[in-house]
Chain A
Amino acid sequence: MKARQVSVFVENQPGRLVAMLEALQTRNIDIRALSVADNADFGIVRMILSDTRLGADVLREAGFTVKETTVLQKDMPDRPGGLLETVARPLSEAGINLEYFYAFLDPAPGKATIVIKVADPERAERVLGP
């Protein structure tokens, strides 16, 4: 399933993460999933939000550099080999490279969700199924 993700450029500086989270909080926007990629100077915070459009606008208003991207969100069983069999192997066999991914557990027991960024989300969606 395709999903919209909000990415934010955040400098590695005390207070920047707080400023970002406060902006979301004031407009009652919930973070459904989150991951951070970072180097020495900055981080890229990637989030699935309860309201993508509003969340992106709020963050822009707060002065952040924001990008909305299309990612794939795929449910998978929370058991040994779940990620391997449901996602990693099918993509590998189809020759699809992952740009990045992050995963989280669902409140429902036995289920997890993975967020995937690939160059060609249409094709990846066909490979992975709904």
Chain B
Amino acid sequence: MIWSPKYETMPRKDLERLQLERLKAQVARLNEKVPFYRQAFLDKGITPASIRSLADVARLPFTAKHDFRDNYPFGLLAVPHDEVVRIHASSGTTGKPVVAPYTSGDIEMWTEVMARTLTSAGMSKMDIMQNAYGYGLFTGGLGFHYGGERVGAAVIPTSTGNTKRQLMLIQDLGTTVITCTPNYALIIAETALEIGLDLKSTRLRLGVLGAEPWSERMRAEIEAKLPIKAIDIYGLTEIVGPGVSVECPHQCGMHIFEDHFLAEIVDPRTGEQLPYGEKGELVLTTLTKEALPVIRFRTKDITSLDPSPCKCGRTLVRMSKVTGRTDDMLIVRGINVFPSQIESVLLEVEGVEPHYQIIVDREHHLDELEIWVEVSEAVFSDEMRKLESLEKRVRKELESVLGISPRIKLVEPKSLARTEGKAKRVIDRREL
């Protein structure tokens, strides 16, 4: 099912014409209303009239996360305060939060893209949607809530947490769709197991999951433990919240709602635009946002774009699953290396624990990549040659993925640092 066939299946020529028209208007408005952008355009020698084709987007300045912080809280606001009807904010774990004001027009646009998102995932007005995304400053809860109501489903605003109550409501109210983070979906599955509830006996059939990166392996785990098809969504506070892109039932990448968000891929080091198909940093420009329009936001998310026709009929470009963050990117001998690439290789090599540490060193002016892998009982052998062939297999796999040959060192389990939050996977000893 497609919520807005007019826009979601628009011929790409028409879509590009619409994008250009909206981009021009956006640049003109920002030039007039937001001093930060006026200055940034001036620095680049850009006038609104100089935007003549979509290719001109590459001439526009980037917006980075720190620009939100530097202009905290309302420096980037493009409308008078009395037009703001809601304010969300990011968690602000890395400093001041990103403040995201919305006009009523923005809420309408957001509701529309969320209705498209949920419809694409396979939800309809016949469904009962339990929304276990956090309600509050976080955009997830209310974004899904409004989208669910627009589709016409019955929305249960449980918010996240209190998992036993979530399970009771799933049973008693006949929930068919669960919306939450992939990690929370697994917590729900584990709690069901604990209390002896067979989720297959419920009406649950669909999960719309996102707000954190997750792998195909995690999808397989979720779909094995919960009776749902797990659909991936993408969004971010700086752009609109959830609703930027979503998978269709073919699960071959997430369609970006390009009539509202203009997407590019750039080389994270040089900022140069990359062609379709190449992996790089996703850069997004909002085309219709009123309160907080953003030009060329550097998402730091690594993905690639595919504009080829999709079986679902949507003409919208598809972004691949986010495979890493530019924050984590290492440059080793001039090659971009993402810890997530290493992790996925280790997961594929049967039995190897995903606990690893990446050490980068420089010896004789040459970067050396060393990967420490914890040896689990599953892979431990009392025969030296079997352990050495394991090292060799991991090295070869990594070499084919990364393009450089790392040194593999097998270490004792639990010998690598464990932290409460994000594991520190990389130790860079190079003195540059």
Contacts and interface: CB of A to CB of B under 8 A. Distances in A.
Given A65-B376, A66-B377, A67-B377, A117 B383 contact: yes
A124 interface: no
A66 B377 CA distance: 6
A41 B412 contact: no
A44 B412 contact: no
A100 B414 contact: no
B369 to A, nearest CB: 16
B4 interface: no
Nearest to B408: A41
A37 B384 contact: yes
Contacts of B410: 9, 41-42
Given A11-B411, A11-B412, A65 B382 contact: no
A93 to B, nearest CB: 23
Interface in A89-118: 99-100, 117
B384 A65 contact: no
A100 B412 contact: no
A65 B413 contact: yes
B56 interface: no
Interface in A56-88: 63-67, 69
A117 B375 CA distance: 22
A67 B415 contact: no
Contacts of B415: 11
Contact of B382 (A11, A16, A39, A46): A46
A65 B375 CA distance: 7
A63 B414 contact: yes
Which of A41, A46, A63 has most B Cβ within 10 Å? A41
B411 to A, nearest CB: 6
Nearest to B386: A99
Interface in B377-394: 377, 380-384, 387-388
A39 B388 contact: yes
A44 B414 contact: no
Interface string B350-392: 0000000000000000000000000111001111100110000
A1 B388 CA distance: 29
Given A39-B388, A65-B376, A66-B377, A117 B412 contact: no
A65 B387 contact: no
Contact of B409 (A37, A41, A64, A100): A41
Contacts of B377: 65-67
Contacts of A66: 377, 380
Contacts of B387: 42, 44
B388 A65 contact: no
Contacts of A37: 384
A39 B412 contact: no
A10 interface: yes
A95 B384 CA distance: 22
A41 B384 CA distance: 12
Nearest to A42: B410
Contacts of A99: 383
Contacts of A64: 412
Given A65-B375, A65-B376, A10 B412 contact: yes
Contacts of B380: 7, 9, 65-67
Given A41-B409, A42-B410, A63-B413, 12 more contacts: A7-B380, A11-B415, A16-B412, A44-B382, A46-B382, A63-B414, A65-B376, A65-B413, A66-B380, A69-B382, A117-B382, A117-B383
Interface of A: 5, 7, 9-11, 16, 37, 39, 41-42, 44, 46, 63-67, 69, 99-100, 117
12 contacts: A9-B375, A9-B412, A11-B412, A37-B384, A39-B388, A65-B375, A65-B376, A67-B381, A67-B382, A69-B382, A100-B384, A117-B383
Interface of B: 375-377, 380-384, 387-388, 409-415
